[in-house]
Amino acid sequence: MSWFDGNRIGVDFSRGLLGRPHEGPDYVLADVETCPFRNESINSVLWLDVIEHLPSLKVIDEANRILSGRGVFLLSTAEKKYELVLNALEKLGLKLPEGPHIWRRHEEIIRKMLDAGFACTRWSKVPVSFYKGTKS
């Protein structure tokens, strides 16, 4: 059994992307900054390559709101030094277009996670940084 087992639901605000065939969880059309889930109703939150496309880090507060008391929050973000590679892959049609990136420093992400009430650790395997938050 893995932590991916059980009920899963994805959130995306792009009706076009949600209409594409995919394997995996069902999705709801929503904004991750204001998720349509009750307080403390989710056991784990996994946001991959999301925060670098948002105007603020409000999503970290939102993860804390919906996450149950013993839940785990994982997020990842691409490293800025790979921006040219990411753009080239998009232009070649080898990855979905993501729009503009807002690159944030690791310290900014960690500070926001701590301020939101998470104990935070960071581990990285280039080209992506991963952060793990547990409610403190």
Higher-pLDDT residue of 58 and 136 is 58
Residue 72 CA to residue 51 CA, distance in Å, equals 17
According to the model, what pLDDT value does residue 57 have? 95
Position 102: which residue type? I
CA distances for 30 relative to 13, 37, 56, 58, 67, angstroms: 5, 10, 17, 15, 17
Domain ranges in the chain?
38-135
- Which of 6-10, 59-63, 69-73 is predicted least confidently? 6-10
According to the model, what pLDDT value does residue 63 have? 93
Q: Summarize the confidence of residues 88-110 as an average pLDDT.
A: 86
- The verdict on whether omega for the bond into residue 127 sits within 30 degrees of 0, i.e. cis, is yes
- Which of 1-10, 11-20, 30-39 is predicted least confidently? 1-10
pLDDT value at 6 more than 70: no
Do β-strands 67-78 and 42-48 pair in parallel, antiparallel, or remain unpaired?
parallel
* Ordered alpha helix ranges (H), the chain: 15-18, 58-66, 83-91, 106-116
Domain 38-135 in CATH 3.40.50.150? The answer is yes
pLDDT value at 116 more than 90: yes
What does the pLDDT look like over 19-53, one tens digit per residue?
A: 666 666 676 778 888 989 999 998 888 888 888 88
According to the model, what pLDDT value does residue 1 have? 41
